[in-house]
Structures are given as structure tokens and as C-alpha cells.
């Protein structure tokens, strides 16, 4: 079992700033996002990281590379850590999609949010599979994963045993927010969530 799992959301993109749903759209970090990535990399400079994994989408990969530079670690890019694929909702302003997080969650759990979008079961399945690959390869080690808000909320809920219908109660709005899960006696303990102290 891992010793510690650090989950980090990528830095800001223009679509984050404009509150557009971006899913698998490969949107790069903007100037603010690059500064955020540098800040979280500095924060984690002295964390004893053994490996870094990231979504292969550029916003996560670039954030991970900045973290890895301090540790001389090249991130492993794995599409299993991608955000949910949103199909026809890619690029749509959030204000046009739903009235509440609960409404989105309810729709999401009953099927894809839009034509061409991923289902909840598909998203959770590939994230859990990606985590299992890390657990198998890094027993007793500390691993960082740079991914996306929706993906990380889904994984955190799974790891701590939160029922899917309550995922909307988790917020990972802070770009480069750090979440920490420690494993004690092979059991996960959520010890920090979405901390953005490095941005202050």
C-alpha cells in the first residue's frame, strides 16, 4: 500500500477563468495557471516524492512537470487520469448547463451528461484502475498525481467511501489545490483537501 497520495488539481486555464466546461479539450495553462503551477511546485519542493503521475492533457502535464523539476522526476503521463469527457458540453459556459451541483450529479449518475460524454461508471472505473496501477508499483512510497477537478472529486469520494450521490458536497474549485490521503494500516485517511495556501 502507498504511504501517502498527494492529489493536485492543474493550474488555471482561460476556460477555468471563463467558467467553461473543458473535459478532454486540451486547453493550455494561462499566465495565472503557470504562476500557480510554479507556486505549488515550490510548496512541494521538500515533500519526499517518489513518483509523479499526471493526466496527459496539457494543463495537468505542464503542472506536473513544474512539480517534477524540483525533484528531478519526469512525470508519467497516463490518460487514465483525464477529466471526464463531456462530449457536446465541451466549451459550454457553466451558466448554461445546470442550476446546481446536485442537479448535475443526479443527471450524471443516471447516464452521460450529453451526447458523446462519459458516464459516471466509466469515469470512476478508469480512475480506480489508474490508482490501482500506482498502488501496485509504489508500495510504501509517496506519490503525487496531477489531475482535474471532476476526476479528483470522483476518486476522493471512492477512496473515502462517500456515496456517489453526495459528490457535489466536495469542492475542488481551487486550481492547484492539494489534497492529501495518508494510508494507515492500509486504510486511507483524508488529511487535507483542496489546500491553496501556496497561492496566498
| DSSP sequence for 103-136 | HHHHHHHHS-SSTTBPPHHHHHHHHHHHHHHHHH
Catalytic residue among 10, 71, 90, 118: 10
- The angle that helices 120-137 and 149-160 make with each other, rounded to 10 degrees, is 70
Per the CB < 8 A criterion, the answer to whether 49 and 144 are in contact is yes
| DSSP sequence for 47-73 | S--SEEEE-SSHHHHHHHHHHHHHHT-
The answer to whether 138 is a known catalytic residue is no
The answer to whether 10 is a known catalytic residue is yes
Cell matching residue 181: 490521503
3-state secondary structure 10-49: CCCEHHHHCCECCCCCCCCECHHHHHHHHHHHHHCCCCCC
Catalytic residue among 83, 90, 118, 148: 83
The set of catalytic residues is: 10, 83
Amino acid at each position: 500500500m502507498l504511504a501517502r497520495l498527494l492529489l493536485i488539481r492543474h493550474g488555471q486555464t482561460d476556460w477555468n477563468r471563463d467558467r467553461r466546461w473543458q473535459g478532454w479539450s486540451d486547453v493550455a495553462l494561462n499566465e495565472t495557471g503557470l504562476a500557480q503551477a510554479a507556486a505549488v511546485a515550490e510548496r512541494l519542493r521538500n515533500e519526499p516524492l517518489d513518483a509523479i503521475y499526471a493526466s496527459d492533457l496539457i494543463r495537468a502535464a505542464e503542472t506536473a512537470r513544474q512539480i517534477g523539476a524540483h525533484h528531478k522526476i519526469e512525470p508519467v503521463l497516463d490518460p487514465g487520469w483525464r477529466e471526464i469527457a463531456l462530449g457536446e458540453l465541451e466549451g459550454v459556459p457553466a451558466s448554461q448547463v445546470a442550476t446546481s451541483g446536485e442537479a448535475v450529479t443526479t443527471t450524471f449518475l443516471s447516464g452521460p451528461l450529453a451526447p458523446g460524454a462519459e458516464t459516471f461508471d466509466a469515469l470512476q472505473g478508469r480512475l480506480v484502475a489508474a490508482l490501482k496501477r500506482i498502488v501496485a508499483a509504489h508500495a510504501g512510497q509517496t506519490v503525487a498525481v496531477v489531475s482535474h477537478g471532476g476526476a479528483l472529486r470522483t476518486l476522493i469520494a471512492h477512496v473515502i467511501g462517500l456515496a456517489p450521490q453526495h459528490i457535489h458536497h466536495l469542492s475542488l474549485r481551487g486550481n492547484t489545490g492539494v489534497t492529501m490521503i495518508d494510508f494507515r494500516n492500509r486504510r486511507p485517511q483524508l488529511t487535507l483537501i483542496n489546500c491553496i495556501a501556496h497561492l496566498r
